[in-house]
A and B are shown apart, each in its own frame.
Chain A
C-alpha cells in the first residue's frame, strides 16, 4: 500500500522559511516523478512543483525562485524548501506520487504565513 506522509508545516512570519518533507513507502520511490500541490483556504487546487525520477524540476511561476523541490532516494523522501514566504503562500500542502497522473496523495500539511 502506498503511503505518503507530509510533515514540516506550521506558522511562519512573512519572509521566513520552512522545509516540508514527504516520507514515501509502498512503492519504488526512485522510479517515480513526485509533485507538490497546495490549496489555500476555501480555494482550488494549485500545482506547485514536480521533480522527475532523473532529477529534473519544474515550478509554478508563483513560487519560482523562492521554492526548491528535491528528493533523497536513499531515504524515500521528497522535500520542498520554501523561502521568502508570503501570506498568499498560506495553504494546505500535499505531496503526490506522479506528475501527469497523481494516483496517490498524502493527507497534507498546513502552512500559515502570518505576522
Chain B
C-alpha cells in the first residue's frame, strides 16, 4: 500500500490560514469517508484533530477543519497560532482493510 502524498512543508504567519493536502487513490481516500488528521509536536505522541474527513473530536479547536474532494483530502487551519507549529499527518482506511498514512507535513508559523 503506497503512502498518501502530503507536501513536506507549509508555512504561514500568525492569524493567517493554511491548507495541507493529502492525495491518495480511489482505494483509500477516494473510496471511504475515513480520513483522519493527526498533529504531532516534537517528542510527543500524535493527537487526533480530525476524523471521518471533517469531524472534530471534543476539545479540538474549531480553527481546524477538514474536507475531501475525490481522492484528495485537505486540512485547513485558520487563525494560525505559534502553538500550531507541528507535524501533521493524514491517514485513510483502505480497501485492503489497512490504514495508510501520508508522509507528514511540517508546519512552520513564521
Contact = CB atoms under 8 A, between A and B. Distances in A.
Interface in A17-31: none
Contact of A47 (B40, B51, B87, B91): B91
Size bin of chain A's contact surface: 20 to 34
Contacts of A37: 46
Given A45-B89, A50-B99, A100 B51 contact: yes
A54 interface: no
Contacts, number: 56
Interface residues of B, number: 25
Interface in A80-107: 94, 99-103, 105-107
A56 to B, nearest CB: 9
Contacts of B38: 45, 102
B29 to A, nearest CB: 13
A20 to B, nearest CB: 15
Nearest to A100: B34
A24 to B, nearest CB: 14
A103 B57 contact: yes
Given A44-B103, A61-B1, A101-B52, A108 B98 contact: no
A11 interface: no
B100 A47 contact: yes
A72 interface: no
Contacts of B93: 100
B45 A45 contact: no
A50 B97 CA distance: 10
Closest 8 CB pairs of A and B: A101-B51, A47-B99, A105-B45, A44-B104, A103-B48, A45-B101, A100-B34, A44-B103
